[in-house]
Amino acid sequence: MAKEKAPKGPIPTGWMERGARLAGQTGLSAARFVGTRFKSFASPDRAQEYLDGFHEQTARQLVQMLGEMKGAAMKVGQLASFYELSDSDGLQTYRDALTMLQNSAPPMDGSASRKVIEDEFGAPADEIFSNFEDEAVASASIGQVHRAELKTGEKVAIKVQYPGVDEAVRADLKNVSALTKLAVAIAPNMDPSEVAREVKERVLEELDYKREASNQMRFHELYKGHPFIVIPRVYPDYCRTRVITQEFIEGDSFLSALEWDKADRDRLGEIVFRFFYGSLNRFRLFSADPHPGNYLLLGKDKVAFLDFGLVRALDPGTHEHLLEIIQALIAGDKERERRALEGLGILTSRTPEIDAIWDHLVELNRPVLVDGDFTIDQAVVQKAAAAGFDPRSEAFQALRRLGVPGVMVTFNRMSFGVHSVLGRLEVTNNWQSIARELWEGAQPKTKLGRAEQRWLKKAHPDWEPPLASL
């Protein structure tokens, strides 16, 4: 991976210091923009050049600041980087720059990781592992990954939480208003209150690596022997609250797939779709962090899925209501749709009628409403987002009066995130046909589907399609 310059000092942990960095960045950007405007007036023929330069410089500084702050501040940047929320050229510049945060943030010095390991295990890293490499091979919002080897010879990846990140995260959450304003500046159609809620839930859960290790072990067991989905093995004896030790897997980043030909991108899109929605519908369990930094591409036929810090389980009743929402849309039955939404607490006697949000729901779920090939591209994802978060859309005011149960915040994060990833790939498939395999056990029509069906019969012979009992 490309090596980033490490920050010179420790992570700032005080809420005033971290808030000042955010405010300072905003002030510098404003001053720079005024200068840009003056230059544009003086040389109107170069106005676009000056504006592009302003956006590029501001984006670079924003990425550096968020990366050095770590914690919730950087998580907002990562979150915004993979949402297809605007086709504005200026905002595209920010999204492209923030994409760097998906795979690599400025790393901490290896000695800091060694100190965390010694604190967690009560012994130096060299006594725990037969080999430990100080240079991080990957880094993210609250931790970084080192290559190592167990005494028994296994090659492992060790994710180590940054020292001081717990305090930094809690400081960020005190500044959540500033953070959500920053997110809206990057992606203006995002609902700031939902961003605040999501950031708080997401980052606080990520602090407990033991919980994440348990989640990953569960997924590893569920997908053992799968033909194209790989979940790295976890070594629980080498996991602690701030350390996860797992199988080391070599692979390429998601971004490399953007250069693949159409057939290969379609196959990758199908794998991503099957993992997230297959987990939801077969096991009532899903990972809600689908951003592209959490995939390793193993050639063009397999994908390793990483990071299980945010995992949600669904109760049977909630799952049934979610299925009903889609089935009612496919049937064009508004009364059935209203009952399903009321069952989840989204519609109540004080919220809008179903007619006010029907078109938005159709747009949001359009890929699975079409029984035929459908291309998910950036325009499709942007249109779905605009229907809910653009004040000019007909559904905007109605949607703001809906109930939003906690589970739906996480589900929508997963669902829209997956579709954003598919939109980047510009993939085509019969998504309804794949979904019917997951809903009702329909016969697969793709090569991947047939391979998965053979695995399912062997690995989970007692599985019953959820719609079979409805």
- pLDDT tens, position by position, 312-367: 899 999 999 999 999 999 999 999 999 999 998 888 877 778 888 898 899 999 99
- Give the residue with greater pLDDT, 388 vs 146: 146
pLDDT at 385: 76
Identify whether 454 is part of a domain: yes
pLDDT per residue over 247-286, tens digit each?
A: 999 999 999 999 999 999 999 999 999 999 999 999 999 9
Residues 196 and 315 in one domain: no
Identify whether 113 is part of a domain: no
Residues 320 and 187 in one domain: no
- Give the residue with greater pLDDT, 85 vs 236: 236
In whole angstroms, give the CA distance from residue 68 to residue 16: 16
Mean pLDDT in residue range 144-155:
96
Q: Which of 203, 230, 256 is the last residue of a domain?
A: 203
Using left for φ > 0, alpha for ψ between -120 and 50, and beta otherwise, residue 140 falls in beta
Residue 315 bears catalytic tag? no
Confidence band for 28, pLDDT divided at 50, 70 and 90: very low
Identify whether 147 is part of a domain: no
pLDDT of 238 strictly over 70: yes
In whole angstroms, give the CA distance from residue 94 to residue 101: 11
Amino acid (1-letter code) at residue 297: L
> DSSP string covering 278-323, please?
HHHHHHSEEE----GGGEEEETTTEEEE---SSEEE--HHHHHHHH
pLDDT at 293: 83
The strand pair at 311-313 and 285-287 is best described as antiparallel
Residues 177 and 39 in one domain: yes
Residues 194 and 315 in one domain: no
Identify whether 316 is part of a domain: yes
- Give the residue with greater pLDDT, 271 vs 100: 271
Q: Is 168 helix (H, G, I), strand (E, B) or coil?
A: helix
Number of domains observed in the structure of the chain: 2
CB atoms within 10 A of CB 20: 14
Identify whether 151 is part of a domain: no
Identify whether 211 is part of a domain: no
Q: Which of 172, 266, 289, 307 is catalytic?
A: 289
Instruction: Rank 141-155, 195-209, 262-276, 337-351 by mean pLDDT and report only the highest.
Output: 262-276
The strand pair at 427-429 and 374-376 is best described as antiparallel
Q: CA dist 26 to 22, 164, 443, 460, Å?
A: 6, 25, 54, 53
Q: Which of 26-40, 373-387, 430-444 has the lowest mean pLDDT?
A: 26-40
Q: How far is CA 184 from the centre of its chain?
A: 17
pLDDT at 29: 39
CA angle 194, 199, 202 (to 5 degrees): 120
pLDDT of 122 strictly over 80: yes
185: domain range?
Answer: 15-102+167-203
Identify whether 270 is part of a domain: no
- Give the residue with greater pLDDT, 407 vs 84: 407
